[in-house]
Structure 1
Amino acid sequence: MITVLGFGSLLSERSALETVPGLSSFRRVRVPGYGRIFNKVGVVFFSRHGADPASLEIASCSTRAMPGVDIICSAFEVPEADFPALYEREHRYRWVEVEALDEFGGRCLGRLCTGSNDVDYRLNKCVTPTEYHRRVGRYYSGLLWRDDILPYPRYLAFCLRAAAAQGPEVLDNFMDCSFLADGRTSIRQYLDGPGSGLQWQGGADYGYQD
């Protein structure tokens, strides 16, 4: 079994089950030294949800090493044979192994998706231009990793509902330990500001896999 740590859409057990129906031991853990950051273009927003490539509201969530910041994540066990489906779902990310702490102080090692860059992705994940075009280029032509983009509203709403479903502590952690692509503005500050106008409570759940 492989321990996986979810921080965005994978905070939702239902969303995780869509990709790995054989997962087990879905639970809550804390990952010290990492924050969430909305700096990755979500290609799935174009391929499945009709996003406008000219908009700045096209970001999905990644993670970044941030000393002094902890994120509350989901943790779950995935059969080794099922992990390739999750790897495919999270194809744009780089995987790292990090230490996580459970609610009783126990420690475990888990696999966490974290930031990459366009050069590494093209060279190491998409071996040929044809494969890159199949995965990305036919939907979107710009950089995947950017510091000027904003969360895709429906995706952010989904993540907020997934966090809220696990209790106010998890929601507060998501609000305060998740940042815009600028690396400074928290999601709480963004939602409290004049720019977002996001109504995230209630509404339908959308399955996002990117």
Structure 2
Amino acid sequence: MISVVGFGSLLSERSARDTVPGLQNYRLVRVDGYRRIFNKVGILFIAGHGQAPESLEVSSCSTEPSEGVSIIVAQFDCPVDQFGELYEREHRYRWIQVEARGLDGVIQEPARMCTGYTDLEYRLNKCVTDEEYHDRVGRHYSGRIWRDDILPFPRYLKFCLVSAAFHGDAVLENFVDTSFLADGETSIRKYLVERSDLIPSSLRERPAFTQGSQSGN
């Protein structure tokens, strides 16, 4: 088994099982010293969901070091023979090892987590040839993958919010407060004050999105 941490769509166990049907021991944990950031162009949103390549609403979620921040994420054990599918799903990320702790504070086994790359590092380390890069990225999208001026793909952000909310208000609150736009300054909580249309209707009465909870953010 390979222990894996998921922080965006993998907060949905169903989504995780779509790629890793044999996963085991799915649970919530904390990873200290990281925050989420929506700064990676989601090629799948362009290639598979019809988003225009020139749209700014095209980002998916990554992570980056952030002192004093603690993200609530999912940790699960992936069979070795199924990790290849997960690796392909998350191909444009860098994989790192992190130490997680249970919500009760108990240290977990070290886990692999996706984090940010640069375009040059991705081409040098993940795409052996120009032809492979073209097949994976270039035939769908010609710009930079890692950017500071993009916004979340709406359907993806909604899915992440619903997935976090499934685990309870504390997890949803953590998600909106420890996730940021690509600019690195605007929290998802603040963004959703301005873009309330992106809050799923089933979540609009949750504490994370009530007026009192939003004030001051």
Q: Same fold (TM over 0.5)?
A: yes
1:105-124 residue pairs with structure 2 within 5 A?
105-108=105-108, 109-124=110-125
Partners in 1 of 2:18 and 2:163 — Cα distance? Answer: 15
Counterpart position of 2:191:
190
Shift of 1:103: 2.0
1:67-146 residue pairs with structure 2 within 5 A?
67-108=67-108, 109-146=110-147
1:1-210 residue pairs with structure 2 within 5 A?
1-108=1-108, 109-193=110-194, 195=195, 197-202=197-202
Shift of 1:81: 1.5
The DSSP-based 3-state class of the residue aligned with 1:28 is strand
Shift of 1:197: 2.9
The DSSP-based 3-state class of the residue aligned with 1:38 is strand
Amino acid in structure 2 at the alignment position of 1:37: I
Amino acid in structure 2 at the alignment position of 1:18: D
The DSSP-based 3-state class of the residue aligned with 1:169 is helix
**With CA pairs under 8 Å and 6+ residues apart, which has the higher RCO, 1 or 2?**
1
Partners in 2 of 1:41 and 1:189 — Cα distance? Answer: 21
Per-residue CA deviations over 1:92-140 (Å, capped at 9, x if unaligned) read 0000001101022211211100000100001110010100010001111
CA contact (8 A) 1:161 1:201 kept: no
Amino acid in structure 1 at the alignment position of 2:144: L
Partners in 2 of 1:91 and 1:26 — Cα distance? Answer: 22
Query: Tell me, which stretches of 5 or more residues in structure 1 are unaligned?
Result: 204-210
CA contact (8 A) 2:57 2:153 kept: yes
The DSSP-based 3-state class of the residue aligned with 1:189 is helix
Matched-pair identity in %: 61
Amino acid in structure 2 at the alignment position of 1:117: T
CA contact (8 A) 1:157 1:201 kept: no
Counterpart position of 1:206:
none
Query: Tell me, which stretches of 5 or more residues in structure 2 are unaligned?
Result: 204-217
Amino acid in structure 2 at the alignment position of 1:112: M
CA contact (8 A) 1:179 1:187 kept: yes
Greater percentage in helix? 2
Partners in 2 of 1:160 and 1:122 — Cα distance? Answer: 31
